[in-house]
C-alpha cells in the first residue's frame, strides 16, 4: 500500500470511528491485502486488435515483474463498462487507477469521483477531451496526429511528380476514439496540400479485422477506382487484404496500403509486399506505466504527457526486424 492509500485508510478509519464510535479493523481502505504492494486498477478497452493483445500482455507482465498488484478489467469495447470498473476501483480503494479510454468524451463525472476519493488517475494509450487536466496525473501514449501525418507524408512522396487523381479509401478506428479522430486529422492535414489526393470513402472498421474486411468489400463494390487504402490499424488493413484478394486484386500493387501499429501480422504482410507502409505505434506501455504508477502513488511530480518512441517501416525494414518482433 502506498503513502496515499495509507493516508486514505487513516481518513476512512477516522471517519468510521467517529461515525460508529469505534475503529473497525479494516474499514475498506486499501485493497492491497496488507502485503505492501501497490494496487493498480486498470480498465482495458477490450481485445479488438493485435495491438491491444500485446498491450494487455505488456501491462500484465510488467505488473508481475515490478511487484504491482494489478486489478485488470476488460471493458469489451464499452465505455459504460469502463465507468463501472473505475467506480469499483474507487470503492475498493485501489492506490492508482489507470485506463485506456474507449472514446474521448464523457469522463468528467467519474474522474471527479476518483479525484474526490484522492485516487490518482493515469491515462494510458488514449487521451480524453476534457479541458480539466486536473482529472488525471499524466497521459502516457503515442502522438496519433503525428502517426496520421507520417502516413500522409509517405503517400505524398510515393505519388510525387504525378498528376493523376489518387483515390483513397479510409478505414477509421472506433468512432470517437482518440486514435481514430487523430489519425484521420493528421493524414487529412498532410494530403490536403495537393488536390490530386481524394478521400473517396471513409468509414469505421472498428479497429477489427472482421469489420475491416466487410467495409472494404463495400468500398470495392461502390468505388469504381481505388488507388490507396489508409487503415487506422493493421488489423483492419489485414481484413481488407482478404477482401481485395477475394475481389481478384493484388493488395500492395493494385491498391497501395498504409496502416498503423506494426504488430507481427501487419509486419509479415508488409514484408510480403501486401502492405506498402506501416507507421509504428508501440503497445509496450507496461514498464513505463508501472514506473509512473509508483511515482504518482509516492506523490512525486510527473510529466503531464509521456510520449512513446516510434518509427515507420517499409517492406525492406520489416524483413529485417521481423525475426526479432515479439508481438
Ligand atoms: O492502434 C489499435 C487499437 O489505442 C493505439 O487501438 C490504440 C489503438 C491501436 O485497437 O490497433
CB 232 within 8 A of CB 250: no
| pLDDT tens readout for residues 79-133 | 999 999 999 999 999 999 999 999 999 999 999 999 999 999 999 999 999 999 9
Both 52 and 135 in one domain: the answer is yes
Query: Ligand 1: which atom is nearest the Cα of residue 51?
Result: 11
pLDDT at 200: 98
Out of 207, 236, 310, mutate this one to test ligand 1's pocket (max ligand atoms within 8 Å of CB): namely 207
Give yes or no for residue 281 CB within 6 A of ligand 1. yes
pLDDT at 158: 97
Question: DSSP states of 264-326 as a string?
Answer: HHHHHHHHTTSS-EEEE-----HHHHHHHHHHHHTT----SEEEPP--EE-HHHHHHHGGG--
CB 111 within 8 A of CB 130: yes
Question: CA-CA distance, 3 to 298, in Å (whole number)?
Answer: 6
CB 179 within 8 A of CB 146: no
Pairing of strands 96-99, 38-44: parallel
Q: How confident is the model at residue 229 (pLDDT cuts 50, 70, 90)?
A: very high
Both 244 and 155 in one domain: the answer is yes
Both 128 and 187 in one domain: the answer is no
Q: How confident is the model at residue 36 (pLDDT cuts 50, 70, 90)?
A: confident
CB 173 within 8 A of CB 233: yes
pLDDT at 22: 33
- Judge whether 195 lies within some domain: yes
**Region 35-47 average pLDDT:** 96
Q: How confident is the model at residue 321 (pLDDT cuts 50, 70, 90)?
A: very high
Question: CA-CA distance, 104 to 36, in Å (whole number)?
Answer: 34
Gap from CA of 113 to ligand 1 centroid (Å): 27
- Judge whether 17 lies within some domain: no
pLDDT at 13: 42
pLDDT at 4: 52
Q: How confident is the model at residue 326 (pLDDT cuts 50, 70, 90)?
A: confident
Q: How big is the chain by its Cα radius of gyration, in Å? A: 22
Number of domains in the chain: 2
**Closest residue CA from atom 8 of ligand 1:** 179
Both 209 and 95 in one domain: the answer is no
Average pLDDT, the chain: 92
Both 164 and 237 in one domain: the answer is yes
CATH number of the domain to which 112 belongs: 3.40.50.2300
Give yes or no for residue 179 CB within 6 A of ligand 1. yes
Gap from CA of 169 to ligand 1 centroid (Å): 19
- Judge whether 12 lies within some domain: no
| pLDDT tens readout for residues 15-33 | 333 333 333 333 334 444 5
Please state the φ and ψ torsions of residue 86, each to the nearest 5 degrees.
-65, -40
CB 38 within 8 A of CB 69: yes
Higher pLDDT, residue 3 or 20 = 3
Question: CA-CA distance, 142 to 206, in Å (whole number)?
Answer: 19
Gap from CA of 173 to ligand 1 centroid (Å): 8
Its domain, for residue 180, covers: 144-281
Widest CA span in the chain: 82
Question: CA-CA distance, 195 to 115, in Å (whole number)?
Answer: 48
Gap from CA of 276 to ligand 1 centroid (Å): 19
CB 286 within 8 A of CB 58: yes
Question: CA-CA distance, 134 to 156, in Å (whole number)?
Answer: 39
Amino acid at each position: 500500500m502506498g503513502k496515499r492509500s495509507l493516508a486514505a485508510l487513516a481518513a476512512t478509519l477516522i471517519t468510521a470511528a467517529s461515525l460508529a464510535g469505534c475503529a473497525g479493523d479494516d474499514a475498506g481502505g486499501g485493497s492491497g491485502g496488507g502485503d505492501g504492494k501497490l494496487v493498480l486498477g486498470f480498465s482495458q478497452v477490450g481485445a479488438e486488435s493485435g495491438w491491444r493483445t500485446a498491450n494487455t500482455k505488456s501491462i500484465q507482465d510488467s505488473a508481475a515483474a515490478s511487484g504491482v498488484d494489478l486489478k485488470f478489467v476488460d471493458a469489451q469495447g464499452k465505455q459504460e463498462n469502463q465507468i463501472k470498473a473505475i467506480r469499483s476501483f474507487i470503492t475498493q480503494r485501489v492506490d492508482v487507477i489507470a485506463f485506456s479510454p474507449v472514446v474521448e468524451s464523457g469522463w468528467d463525472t467519474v474522474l471527479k469521483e476518483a479525484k474526490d476519493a484522492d485516487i490518482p488517475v493515469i491515462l494510458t494509450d488514449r487521451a480524453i477531451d476534457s479541458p480539466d487536466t486536473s482529472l488525471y496525473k499524466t497521459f502516457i501514449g503515442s502522438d496519433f496526429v503525428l502517426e496520421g501525418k507520417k502516413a500522409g507524408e509517405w503517400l505524398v512522396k510515393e505519388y510525387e511528380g504525378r498528376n493523376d487523381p489518387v483515390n483513397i479509401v479510409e478505414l477509421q478506428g472506433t468512432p470517437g476514439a482518440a486514435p481514430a479522430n487523430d489519425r484521420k486529422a493528421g493524414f487529412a492535414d498532410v494530403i490536403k496540400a495537393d488536390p490530386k489526393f481524394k478521400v473517396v470513402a471513409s468509414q469505421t472498421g472498428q479497429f477489427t479485422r472482421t469489420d475491416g474486411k466487410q467495409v472494404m468489400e463495400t468500398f470495392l463494390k461502390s468505388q469504381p477506382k481505388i488507388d490507396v487504402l489508409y487503415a487506422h490499424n493493421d488489423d483492419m488493413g489485414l481484413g481488407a487484404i482478404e477482401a481485395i484478394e477475394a475481389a481478384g486484386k493484388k493488395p500492395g500493387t493494385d491498391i497501395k496500403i498504409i496502416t498503423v501499429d506494426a504488430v507481427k501480422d501487419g509486419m509479415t504482410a508488409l514484408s510480403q509486399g501486401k502492405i506498402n507502409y506501416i507507421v509504428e505505434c508501440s503497445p509496450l506501455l507496461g514498464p513505463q506505466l508501472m514506473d509512473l504508477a509508483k511515482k504518482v502513488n509516492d506523490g512525486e511530480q510527473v510529466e503531464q504527457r509521456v510520449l512513446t518512441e516510434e518509427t515507420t517501416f517499409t517492406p525492406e525494414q520489416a524483413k529485417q526486424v521481423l525475426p526479432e518482433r515479439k508481438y
